[in-house]
Amino acid sequence: MKAQTIEQLLSLLDHPDSALIDAVRTLVMQAAPALVEGVKWNAPSYALNGNDIITFNFRNYGAVSLIFHTGPKGKDTKTGNRLFEDKTGLVEWVADKRFVVKVEDCRFLQTHAAAIAQLVQTWVAYGANNFEPTR
């Protein structure tokens, strides 16, 4: 059965870090209420104006990852010209306009909640500008 809602997805997933997943979901939605939560790529995903730009990744147990991306039609480039300078130390750049933040546990989330919320807000601001650099 394919999950149609986040609740269905999480109950089918039976993930050992469900409390952490819920805490990260809450943080994302509080940081950017304009995002719409849904299921995409068999994971919770967050869309801005119909374009999914932040998606959970559960593949690595022991951490919950948030993938910040430009959406399914976005094109990755690896020129080294990152969209912005990460001052948090939490960002693992995968491409110029795609990065991962790994949330290890609830303690990590508590410690870094403000920085993660700022990253969400920064990404949403870039998403509202079609992921073009602001100069």
Domain ranges of the chain: 6-72+81-128
Q: Is the Cβ–Cβ distance between 82 and 93 less than 8 Å?
A: yes
Neighbours of 115 (CB within 10 A): 16
CA distances from residue 91 to 2, 12, 14, 17 in whole angstroms, order as listed: 31, 29, 27, 21
SS3 39: strand
Who contacts 111 (Cβ-Cβ below 8 Å, separation ≥6)?
A: none
The secondary structure element, H or E, covering residue 53 is strand 51-57
Per DSSP, the chain holds a count of helices (H) and strands (E) of: 3, 6
What average pLDDT score do residues 75-101 get? 94
pLDDT in tens, 27-67: 999 999 999 999 998 899 999 999 999 999 987 667 899 99
CA atoms of 40 and 43, how far apart (whole Å): 6
What average pLDDT score do residues 96-122 get? 97
CATH entry 3.90.1150 includes domain 6-72+81-128: yes
Lowest mean per-residue pLDDT among 16-20, 72-76, 126-130: 72-76
